[in-house]
Amino acid sequence: MTTTPAPQSGAETGVLARVSDVRCVYGGGEQDFTAVDGVSFELNEGEILGLAGESGCGKTTLGNALAMIAVPPLYVLSGRLGIDGREIDLATLNAADVKAHRPYRGTTVSMLPQGAMNAISPTLRIRSLVLDVMRAHDKNVAKDEALDLARDRLKMLEMPVRVLDSYAHQLSGGMKQRVITVISTLLNPRLLIADEPTSALDVSSQRMLVEMLLAMVEQRIMSGVVFVTHDLPVLSQISDKLAIMNRGAIVEMGPTAQLVEDPQHPYTEKLLGSVLDPTAETRRKGKEWLTGGSGLVRSATETAASGTSPSDTPKGATS
Ligand SMILES: Nc1ncnc2c1ncn2[C@@H]1O[C@H](COP(=O)(O)OP(=O)(O)OP(=O)(O)O)[C@@H](O)[C@H]1O
């Protein structure tokens, strides 16, 4: 793995992350299966990018590549991440590469993996989980320092500090997911990859998590999020931009409201159609809901104010 200065990726341009030509395969032998096929996009400071597509299209694989947690049989053949004035080579063709990515994991990019809330050890109090996560990055961190940070963060997000003394089974699903989100962002990652964080939650817990993520971006706990899901209604509530993925490639990307209102790619239209009733009236209502009716949706004005425009779409991101 190599890192070289990339002055074009920095706050002065408003660009948080520039992802180019990510290619991933499963296998590593003659029977390689290409799961991500040349994905490129940009994310501005403070933006949430929704990554949507049918099951199996490569969303999680792309997320793992960006978070630098690809392990065999997944191999990242190529890909670069320009962030914080660095150009990180994402390719993971040998064990040395995996080690070299370590300084960036959890700090530059943090992953909230699919099903994370159900993977919390039942024998650990949340406070032990906090320590484990902090010590994975800095084995010398003092216990009090780590717990103080967790307490501050919980307070900042208006969550009860007492969850630190709880075991996972004492928390609701929604609370577990919010706690795990807080823990995975304790190190103030510049970019959070959240993989299906709301899929196992009921509607009110989904809303609470969405509101918390928006607050975390607003308070710059992290500077941007790639929010992975095939749940388009949830994505329309939270995303500034949407990227639609099909068979390992991004087929269309643009500001959320614009993409939902006026999809350009037949696959996007098909995907949107699959979440909307085909009758004209319910389709209209569905679109209203998708584009603003829920009350949580970022308005077109807000999206425009975030500096996103159709011309932001990287050339390689449309077809
Ligand atoms: N360990 C693996 N070995 C071989 N192929 C895999 C492996 N993991 C995933 N794949 C394949 O890679 C492709 C992309 O999978 P991925 O999990 O990235 O899709 P996804 O869009 O995240 O799906 P979902 O929405 O169901 O989570 C799929 O065809 C999948 O079968």
pLDDT digits (tens, 9 = 90+) for 176-186: 999 999 999 99
Residue nearest to atom 12 of ligand 1 (CA): 35
What distance in angstroms lies between residue 315's CA and the mean position of ligand 1's atoms? 25
Asked if residues 259 and 235 have their Cβ atoms less than 8 Å apart, the reply is no
Percent of the chain with pLDDT over 70: 79
Spatial distance between the Cα atoms of 120 and 136, rounded to a whole number of angstroms: 16
Neighbour order of strands in the sheet with 109-112: 109-112, 191-195, 224-228, 48-52, 241-246, 249-255
Asked if residues 213 and 206 have their Cβ atoms less than 8 Å apart, the reply is no
> What is the average per-residue pLDDT within 292-300?
41
Asked if residues 193 and 111 have their Cβ atoms less than 8 Å apart, the reply is yes
Q: Considering the domain 3-317 in this protein, what is its CATH number?
A: 3.40.50.300
Q: Which atom of ligand 1 is nearest to the CA of 248?
A: 14
Task: Identify the sign of the CA torsion 127, 179, 44, 66.
Answer: positive
According to the model, what pLDDT value does residue 28 have? 65
Asked if residues 44 and 15 have their Cβ atoms less than 8 Å apart, the reply is yes
Q: Which residues contact 157 (CB under 8 A, 6 or more apart)?
A: 178, 182, 212, 215, 216
Task: With a threshold of 0.90, tell me whether the complex ipTM lies above it.
Answer: yes
According to the model, what pLDDT value does residue 100 have? 78
Residue 17 parent element (H or E): strand 15-26
Spatial distance between the Cα atoms of 37 and 77, rounded to a whole number of angstroms: 10
Q: Considering only 66-70, 164-168, 264-268, 289-293, which range has the smallest mean pLDDT?
A: 289-293
Residue nearest to atom 1 of ligand 1 (CA): 73
What distance in angstroms lies between residue 14's CA and the mean position of ligand 1's atoms? 32
Please, what is the Cα angle at 106 between 23 and 44, to 5 degrees? 65
According to the model, what pLDDT value does residue 178 have? 93
Q: Considering only 42-46, 57-61, 112-116, which range has the smallest mean pLDDT?
A: 112-116
Q: Which atom of ligand 1 is nearest to the CA of 228?
A: 22
Q: Which of 60, 195, 226 to mutate to test the pocket of ligand 1 (most atoms within 8 A of CB)?
A: 60
pLDDT (tens digit, 9 = 90+) per residue, 226-242?
Answer: 999 888 888 887 899 99
Spatial distance between the Cα atoms of 154 and 195, rounded to a whole number of angstroms: 21
Residue 169 to residues 150, 181, 183, 291, Cα–Cα distance (Å):
20, 17, 17, 36
Task: Identify the sign of the CA torsion 98, 102, 108, 111.
Answer: positive
